[in-house]
Amino acid sequence: MRPLFLDYQRKAPFESRPGWVVLAAAVITAGIALHSFVEASRDLERARYTLARLERKPVPVVRGDLNRSDSVRLAEELKFANATVERLTLPWEELLQAIEAATTRNVALLSVEPDVQRKLLRITAETKSKSDMLSYVGRLSGSKRLTGVHLVNHQVGIQEPGQPVRFSMQASWGASPNEQN
């Protein structure tokens, strides 16, 4: 077997000009490919946007007089849309904060029903005693957000365990007379 000769002080390989030319050509080609990819992506995005716009169903334009059934249907749809908008623009956060601020462990809220047109709120709750019911109504009356709080009705569950008191209240929301001045 021949002895192995290791040269640990070998000089760096010779750098050739053709290698640099090939590297430069590769970088330029990669740049061109990247530019083409970006342009193709933009074209694809524009095509998707145009397709989405064309797929939307256009709203038919009504020309001339509506017949009676169409006008009734349109009026009903408009009324429903307005009612939905009114419910969505209700100051829910403020109303619920006012109700929660007055609520204690002795009061269990059962329902909160708004009447948007009359700006009334009907609250149904349950307590263990009439004194808890009256103190809850009093705390709600002291709320800055709710006005005209009053007890509508109450019932004592005689046949239920603990004989809970179920009651309904009504309140208005909006600016109180003190806030208007």
Higher pLDDT, 67 or 43: 43
Over pLDDT 70: what percentage of the chain? Answer: 87
pTM listed for this prediction: 0.51
Higher pLDDT, 11 or 121: 121
Question: What is the per-residue pLDDT for 178?
Answer: 45
Asked whether the predicted pLDDT for residue 181 surpasses 80, the reply is no
pLDDT in tens, 75-124: 888 888 877 777 777 777 888 888 888 888 889 999 988 887 788 889 99
Q: Average pLDDT for residues 146-175, to the nearest whole number?
A: 86
Q: Which of the four pLDDT bands, split at 50, 70 and 90, describes residue 1?
A: confident
Side by side, which strands form the sheet with 165-173?
107-115, 120-127, 165-173, 146-156
d(CA 67, CA 74): 11
Q: What does the pLDDT average to over 17-23?
A: 85
Examine the pLDDT at 13 and tell me if it is beyond 70: no
Contact present, 120 and 170 (Cβ < 8 Å): yes
Half-sphere exposure of 163 (CA within 13 A, CB side): 4
Average pLDDT over residues 12-37: 86
The pLDDT of residue 30 is 94
**Do 86 and 117 contact (CB within 8 A), yes or no?**
yes
Q: What is the pLDDT of residue 42?
A: 92
Per domain, the residue ranges of the chain are 18-51, 91-180
Average pLDDT over residues 177-181: 42
CATH tag, 91-180: 3.30.1360.100
Measured in degrees and rounded to the nearest 5, phi and psi for residue 146 equal -105, 140
Paired sense of beta strands 120-127 and 146-156, if any: unpaired
Which residue type occupies 132?
Answer: D
**132: which 2 tokens?**
């808890």
pLDDT value of residue 25: 93
- Residue 113, classed as helix, strand or coil, is strand
| 127-139 average pLDDT score | 90
